[in-house]
Amino acid sequence: MTVKLGPNRYGKAGVRLVRVVREGTVHHLKDLNVSTALSGDMEAVHLTGDNAAVLPTDSQKNTVHAFARKHGVGEIEEFALLLARHFVDTGQAVHHARVEIEEYAWRREGPHSFVRDGGEVRTCVVHHDRDGRTTVVSGLKDLVLLNTTGSEFHGYAVDEYTTLRPTTDRILATAVTARWRHRGEGGDHAASYERARRCLLEAFAGTHSLSLQQTLYAMGERVLTSCPELCEVRLAMPNKHHFLVDLSPFGLDNDNEVYHAADRPYGLIEGGVLREDAPDAGFAWE
């Protein structure tokens, strides 16, 4: 039997970086989770144990820390681009770098005091290779949304196992994971993020929903309609079911007032929306 090395990459995952900028008595905080992954000429490493091509994952972690000190941390996309370019430009055997960053939000509570925002996490994944190809995907996760009405679900396929009752008025709730691909490397990443996020919220709140699938499409469509710098959106939205509780054993009616919020199982609705002329995604989603 002959076998060969398949796709591979290696790096440091979960580098939890906190960067403080002190402007006199007013301090600023960035709280990130950075993961690096390099690939390239790594045959010998896997096949013979020759580690000459391996920049240790420990060095990759150190680079994240040193770059935070030397260059500061601005928008996560820019920090990821800086790191990805560095690894490809300086590592002979490195043909490709992938840098993923999550940013945890802190709300200011005073000049040097912050409250961790329990809400969504901002994300990005940057790829850069030695041919100069670069892709940037931005996004968010754990954006929890709920509509108390304006959601129906009926007209679905029925078979011998179907027990679900059709409804014309239900709670629609989800925790959005959304990622959007930039046409190029992107310009003003802060403004772009705020615009895309606002589109997701407005489309969720403003769509009279006949299914979570329809809402998902409306959200992706709104982002692409309002953000010319983006060409593709991918969404994953769990259906956080809210079941109306039967209160008749207690002689009580329940006109859409008391629900059981179930956490599992949950429906998982996933889909993408892209411009017809979207450039080839290449390795952007890997």
Ligand X SMILES: O=c1[nH]c(=O)c2[nH]c(=O)[nH]c2[nH]1
Please list the active-site residues. Answer: 12, 57, 241
153 is an interface residue for ligand X by CB under 6 A: yes
118 is an interface residue for ligand X by CB under 6 A: no
CB of 18 to ligand X, least distance (A): 39
Cα(25)–Cα(267) distance, integer angstroms: 48
Within the chain, how many helices (H) and strands (E) appear?
Answer: 5, 12
60 is an interface residue for ligand X by CB under 6 A: no
Three-state SS at 249: helix
Cα(33)–Cα(102) distance, integer angstroms: 5
Angle, alpha carbons 81-121-280 (nearest 5°):
45
With contact defined as beta carbons under 8 Å apart, do 171 and 153 qualify?
no
Q: Which residues of 141-163 are buried (b: 16+ CB within 10 A; e: fewer)?
A: eebebebeebbbbeeeeeeeeee
HSE-CB for 229 with a 13 A CA cutoff: 18
Of 198, 272, 278, 262, nearest to 237 by C-alpha is 272
Q: Of the ranges 108-116, 180-188, 208-216, 246-254, which one interacts with ligand X (CB under 6 A)?
A: 208-216
Q: Of the ranges 41-49, 111-119, 193-201, 205-213, which one interacts with ligand X (CB under 6 A)?
A: 205-213
- When the beta carbons of 134 and 151 are compared against ligand X, the nearer one is 151
- When the beta carbons of 184 and 267 are compared against ligand X, the nearer one is 267
SS3 content of the chain, % helix, strand, coil (to 5): 25, 35, 35
- When the beta carbons of 228 and 267 are compared against ligand X, the nearer one is 267
Of 195, 69, 222, nearest to 140 by C-alpha is 195
With CB under 6 A as the contact rule, the residue among 18, 115, 164, 252 that binds ligand X is 164
- When the beta carbons of 187 and 265 are compared against ligand X, the nearer one is 265
Residue 179 tokens read as 């990622």
Residues 237-256 binding ligand X (CB under 6 A) are 239
With CB under 6 A as the contact rule, the residue among 119, 206, 267, 279 that binds ligand X is 267
CB of 267 to ligand X, least distance (A): 5
Q: Of the ranges 13-21, 132-140, 181-189, 206-214, which one interacts with ligand X (CB under 6 A)?
A: 206-214
DSSP state for residue 248 in the 8-state scheme: G
Residues 210-239 binding ligand X (CB under 6 A) are 211-213, 239
191 is an interface residue for ligand X by CB under 6 A: no
111 is an interface residue for ligand X by CB under 6 A: no
- When the beta carbons of 164 and 258 are compared against ligand X, the nearer one is 164
CB of 135 to ligand X, least distance (A): 31
- When the beta carbons of 212 and 235 are compared against ligand X, the nearer one is 212
Strand partners, 242: 261
166 is an interface residue for ligand X by CB under 6 A: no
Binding site for ligand X (CB under 6 A): 153, 164, 211-213, 239, 267
